[in-house]
Structure 1
Amino acid sequence: MISHLHVKDFAIIDEMDVDFHTGLNIITGETGAGKSIIIEAVSLALGSRADTAFVRSGKDKAVIELIVEDCPKPAFVLLEENGIPADEGQIIIKREISASGKGVCRVNNQIVSVSFLHGLCKKLADIHGQYDHQSLLDPELHITLLDLYNSAEILPVQTLTQNFYQEYKSLKSQLEQLLANAADNQRKYDFISFELNEIDNANLISGEDETLEEEILALQNSEKIYGNLSNSYEALYDNSPSVLEALSKVQDQLQDIAPYSKAVQDLLADFDDAYYKLEDISREVRSIRDHVTFSPEQLDLAISRMNVIDKLKRKYGGSIEKVLTYRQQLEADLATIENMDETKEAITHQLSVCEDQLKLASQRLSTLRKTAAAELQVKIKAQLHELSFNSAEFEISLTKNPSGYTANGVDTVEFLISTNRGEPLKPLAKIASGGEMSRIMLAFKKIIGDYDDIPTMIFDEIDTGISGIAASVVGQKLREIAENHQIICITHLPQITACGSYNYKIVKSSDETSTYTTVVPLSPEEKIQEVARLLGGLNITEATLKSAEELIQASLA
């Protein structure tokens, strides 16, 4: 529920704070005091379109802040999905409108878009009157309201229908995609086969390119390699004296003195290791030298093979490993095309079975809705008569959706109404005025209000065109609905004012330069005075005060 409203520099409001409560909150005031401005401020906080004209003259910006307590579950889920905390179920909405045309929306101190704010606030409050938060004016929501009426039976079937529809839509999409691709399949088959054959004919081996690079480098430099190895071997072994011969003499000298010195013995051991290692190296140099060959044919073959590999790497991935991975994908794609007929047959069968299930579920859903519609329209009509629509006719139209199956089955639901005798039934949004719309919503809320997750309802102009007994009935309806919802209602009728659990008065004052509007909570005695004012105007007598008390007492009966 909305627990607090703060408005600053908005229209003729300088600064105002008002606390609201659960139950029926009634706001009254003199004509022109600014009752509609309060609703306009709340409407902006709930996400309606902003206008710089609302910024108080001479001020930089207008600020409207709402505090919502006991956040309903749908709103809490939306906040949680968007990473906005709602500690202890509290939501603080702040809307700033700059005189320069810029605006900022915040929810729990996080900046949000106007569209997000609008979507969130649709779960928090409904404004009924001349503003744009009227769920009854949206035909797409009529089916939801009907389903709520008999939710115990309808919602399980609706969920089943929705599940079948999602599966049906997925299978249908798969089949359509398969058929759409059929014309290209032969071209794809030929192209995939060509690429697959090109890769297979190369007989690629992982790491082969690295080995080839080494081989080509060696073949291109074979003369130099042979010459350097020959020179090295001759220096080590063939020259006279050779490196090994010189080292052998050193070895003999060390062996001769080794018995006399432990240090020389250790040195000789290291020298022997080095000498024998160098002998091994010389033999290895000779072996490598003897195997060095220069073959132009072998070089050409290696370069040609490398060109093949490089071409495949450029076309299919950049490395042999990626080329081989791409080949696996080609093989899978080829198998898919080759098995398309079997796949098509399987999907067609699954689609047929799913459509039969969807059809049965949709038919069951339509049957339940027709029964619910017949009951609901009788009850709505009775409520409308009580709310002074004495000649009203009301009908819930169920027709087949021209689009075929939807997540809601095959039904389109629209509320039709005629408020005057002799007039044909027409869509609700086309004929109802603001005040009529509010009373029609009262009829719905009285019947299906217990299923509605929206905690707060705000009514403006609900008393348009009614008085006397009808006004008393409207007041009682508001009081009954307020047992399960928070109601904030602006009125000028004493019969509705008398029903308020909490009463407020809009007061307008002015000084030499400005006009100010504020909202004042009324005590029980002040409530009697306000009801008396609405009954008797400026001339409040003991009789009007007594009538006001009686009216308040009667509202409690």
Structure 2
Amino acid sequence: MLQELSIKNFAIIDNLEISFDNGMTVLTGETGAGKSIIIDAVGLLAGGRGSADLIRHGEEKTILQGLFSLPDSVQLSTLLEEYGIENSGDQIILQRELSRNGKNVARVNGSIVTVAILREIANFLIDIHGQNEHQELMNPQNHLYLLDQFSDEKTKKQLAAYRQNYHSYQVAQEELKKLQSDEQQNIQRIDLLKFQIDEIEQANLQDNEEEFLSEERSLLANYQRIQEGLTNAYRSLQGEEGNALDQVGVSMESLEKIQDFSPNYSELFKNISEAYYQLEDSIVSIRSEIDDMSYDEGRLNEIELRLEVIHQLKRKYGQSITEIKKYYEQIIVELDMISNKESYIARLTKTFEREKSSIEKTGKALSKMRREIAEKLEIEIQKQLKELYMEKAQFKVIFNEEKTAIHSNGLDVIEFYISTNVGEPLKPLTKIASGGELSRMMLALKAIFTQTQGITSIIFDEVDTGVSGRVAQAIANKIHLVAEHSQVLCISHLPQVAAMADHHFYIEKEVSGNRTKTHITNIEENTRVMEIARMLAGSDITELSIAHARELLDLAKK
């Protein structure tokens, strides 16, 4: 449920904070007052596409924030944990910032996320349904998805099993296609693979070779500096006059004479003694390093050439010697497959046929379940349409047997068919439904799916356009029914819908200081009567329209 919404510098809204409750909330007001702008803000908060054009004129950025109650969803909890988002309470905060410089920041519970992750999480919290969503119904490719939304757990598990099989089927199919490709392409591929294999083999790469060579090159390239450093260090420690070792030795002898007088002196003597002998060891080591040093320009050139060979191979075959070797092993197998493709084709064909048989079996079981689900959906849709004064309409989920094929979501190709008049045959929904009928169809689906999807907030943005009279009242009743399962926020121009709401916000705009601002007011009692009367009669509110408004509110209460 959306509990709090904060909007700053968005379109004509400068600063707006709204608290929402359970049940059905309606937003009304004059055209252009900013009702849809509020819904656009929620859409952006839910991961919608945004641009700098949405930022209020004269401002540098817009900030949107929504506080939602956290639904009881294992999937959402898993998702939050997967993305490392804190989830310690019963609330969740979504935040979105857009700046004119193009910066786009999204946060969930304070953690910065991508817009894609924000959208993924918001899908569990809110569902925005506007007039453009009718396109979802008008595209038959979406009908299978809508049917699956109505599925029970058993069918959903079967679909998940099918998709797992489909992945294995796809892999086998792709491998087989690759081997069965054009013969000329195979010959060209063989030549390329042989060249690459030979190039890598000639290099005779060794593990960690690059690191050892780089270290040796560094020593040779810095020979002069290293020799100078070692020599100076040796002279300062073991020079002919005033060297460090002799000075430390003097200190050690002096402390040795007084060490028995105090534990502190004894400790000092011990430390200086250890330092003396460590310096002696270091002097021996430095001397050994100096004696062992030699500069070989030929070796340096040899290392440079070898590192260049490794660099060229890394550019072609991988970011490291380990990756190059891994690639080498892969192309060895591929060359063998192409060179002996007939035996591989025979083997892969068996694998492919086995996977195909498995997926067809899983797909047919899924299809059988879907047909049972389709029958239940048809009954539910008929019931919902009857309540929306489409009692003569006939709805049917048609499974197209001719187009049955293996695809990512099963074997089925379905389409919704409908007949809106007695005596008329069933025809594709996309060809015969009017705008008002589509609104009722979509509302019928929402009424059904909200009971199974578990989404806590639903927004209806003028989905009641194009209807009036008793149909308008039926739509109002249906939206209120949806609000029994989910919080509903509804923008409407219909007085019947406004009267059915549990909560009513009035949105208006005013000009102040040569700037337009949007205001929102929670209205009740007499103010609400006047607003519904305005929706009934327009600008000329009469006693009759006021009486009608009161009647609508009384009927809604009943």
Distance 2:162 2:408 in 1: 7
Of 394-403 and 120-129, more deviation after overlay is shown by: 394-403
Distance 2:332 2:14 in 1: 75
Q: In structure 2, what is the equivalent of residue 511 of structure 1?
A: 512
8 A contact 1:48–1:132 mirrored in 2:
no
Cα shift at 1:489: 0.3
Distance 2:36 2:167 in 1: 45
Assess, with a 3 A threshold, how the Cα gap between structure 1 residues 143 and 31 changes in structure 2: closer, same or farther: same
Q: In structure 2, what is the equivalent of residue 47 of structure 1?
A: 47
Q: In structure 2, what is the equivalent of residue 527 of structure 1?
A: 528
Cα shift at 1:477: 0.9
Q: In structure 2, what is the equivalent of residue 387 of structure 1?
A: 388
Distance 1:44 1:110 in 2: 17
TM-score (norm 1): 0.64
Distance 2:434 2:77 in 1: 33
Distance 2:179 2:456 in 1: 48
Of 491-500 and 376-385, more deviation after overlay is shown by: 376-385
Aligned partner of residue 411 in structure 1, secondary structure: coil
8 A contact 1:69–1:89 mirrored in 2:
yes
Q: In structure 2, what is the equivalent of residue 10 of structure 1?
A: 10
Cα shift at 1:458: 0.8
Distance 1:84 1:97 in 2: 21
Q: In structure 2, what is the equivalent of residue 376 of structure 1?
A: 377
Q: In structure 2, what is the equivalent of residue 404 of structure 1?
A: 405
Q: In structure 1, what is the equivalent of residue 173 of structure 2?
A: 172
Distance 1:186 1:546 in 2: 84
The one-letter code sitting in structure 1 at the alignment partner of 2:541 is N
The one-letter code sitting in structure 1 at the alignment partner of 2:397 is I
Aligned partner of residue 446 in structure 1, secondary structure: helix
In the alignment, structure 1 residue 457 sits paired with structure 2 residue 458: yes
Distance 2:488 2:456 in 1: 9
8 A contact 2:381–2:445 mirrored in 1:
yes
8 A contact 1:7–1:64 mirrored in 2:
yes
Distance 2:326 2:471 in 1: 79
Cα shift at 1:328: 10
Q: In structure 2, what is the equivalent of residue 360 of structure 1?
A: 361
Aligned partner of residue 85 in structure 1, secondary structure: coil
Q: In structure 1, what is the equivalent of residue 30 of structure 2?
A: 30
Q: How does 1:186-205 map to 2 (within 5 A)?
A: none
Distance 2:327 2:380 in 1: 67
Distance 1:423 1:150 in 2: 27
The one-letter code sitting in structure 1 at the alignment partner of 2:18 is V
The one-letter code sitting in structure 2 at the alignment partner of 1:62 is T
Distance 1:180 1:509 in 2: 69
8 A contact 1:380–1:444 mirrored in 2:
yes
Q: In structure 2, what is the equivalent of residue 205 of structure 1?
A: none
1:26-46 superposed Cα distances (whole Å, 9 cap, x missing partner): 111233322222222222222
Q: In structure 2, what is the equivalent of residue 539 of structure 1?
A: 541
The one-letter code sitting in structure 2 at the alignment partner of 1:19 is S
8 A contact 1:30–1:506 mirrored in 2:
yes
Distance 1:15 1:326 in 2: 58
Distance 2:326 2:79 in 1: 43
Q: In structure 2, what is the equivalent of residue 301 of structure 1?
A: none
Q: In structure 2, what is the equivalent of residue 480 of structure 1?
A: 481
Cα shift at 1:94: 2.6
When Rg is computed on C-alpha atoms for both structures, the one with the higher figure is: 1
Assess, with a 3 A threshold, how the Cα gap between structure 1 residues 429 and 503 changes in structure 2: closer, same or farther: farther
Q: How does 1:144-223 map to 2 (within 5 A)?
A: 144-177=145-178
Q: In structure 2, what is the equivalent of residue 63 of structure 1?
A: 63
Q: In structure 2, what is the equivalent of residue 85 of structure 1?
A: 86
1:501-542 superposed Cα distances (whole Å, 9 cap, x missing partner): 22211122233522221221223554344334434555364x
Assess, with a 3 A threshold, how the Cα gap between structure 1 residues 510 and 42 changes in structure 2: closer, same or farther: same
TM-score (norm 2): 0.64
Aligned partner of residue 498 in structure 1, secondary structure: helix
Assess, with a 3 A threshold, how the Cα gap between structure 1 residues 59 and 353 changes in structure 2: closer, same or farther: closer
1:184-242 superposed Cα distances (whole Å, 9 cap, x missing partner): 69979x979x98xx99xxxxxxxxxxxxxxxxxxxxxxxxxxxxxxxxxxxxxxxxxxx
Q: How does 1:422-437 map to 2 (within 5 A)?
A: 425-426=427-428, 428=430, 433=435, 437=438
8 A contact 2:457–2:487 mirrored in 1:
yes
Aligned partner of residue 501 in structure 2, secondary structure: coil
Cα shift at 1:442: 1.4
Cα shift at 1:16: 0.8
Cα shift at 1:459: 0.8
Cα shift at 1:104: 1.4
Cα shift at 1:444: 0.7
The one-letter code sitting in structure 1 at the alignment partner of 2:125 is L
8 A contact 2:404–2:413 mirrored in 1:
no
Assess, with a 3 A threshold, how the Cα gap between structure 1 residues 418 and 83 changes in structure 2: closer, same or farther: farther
Assess, with a 3 A threshold, how the Cα gap between structure 1 residues 132 and 9 changes in structure 2: closer, same or farther: farther
The one-letter code sitting in structure 2 at the alignment partner of 1:93 is L
8 A contact 1:24–1:488 mirrored in 2:
yes
Query: Which structure 1 residue ranges, 5 or more long, are not aligned?
Result: 200-309, 318-323
Distance 1:480 1:455 in 2: 14
Identity %: 31
Aligned partner of residue 527 in structure 1, secondary structure: helix
Aligned partner of residue 479 in structure 2, secondary structure: helix
8 A contact 2:415–2:428 mirrored in 1:
no
Query: Which structure 2 residue ranges, 5 or more long, are not aligned?
Result: 203-305, 314-324
Q: How does 1:253-268 map to 2 (within 5 A)?
A: none
Assess, with a 3 A threshold, how the Cα gap between structure 1 residues 516 and 375 changes in structure 2: closer, same or farther: same
8 A contact 2:462–2:491 mirrored in 1:
yes
8 A contact 2:134–2:439 mirrored in 1:
no
Distance 1:438 1:390 in 2: 15
8 A contact 2:190–2:335 mirrored in 1:
no
8 A contact 2:417–2:426 mirrored in 1:
no
Cα shift at 1:544: 5.4
Cα shift at 1:449: 2.5
Distance 2:362 2:332 in 1: 42
Distance 2:9 2:513 in 1: 18
The one-letter code sitting in structure 1 at the alignment partner of 2:7 is V
Cα shift at 1:335: 9.1
8 A contact 1:29–1:506 mirrored in 2:
yes
Cα shift at 1:17: 0.7
How many residues are treated as equivalent by the alignment? 438
Q: In structure 1, what is the equivalent of residue 143 of structure 2?
A: 142
Distance 1:330 1:419 in 2: 62
Of 508-517 and 400-409, more deviation after overlay is shown by: 400-409
Q: In structure 2, what is the equivalent of residue 128 of structure 1?
A: 129
Distance 2:330 2:127 in 1: 55
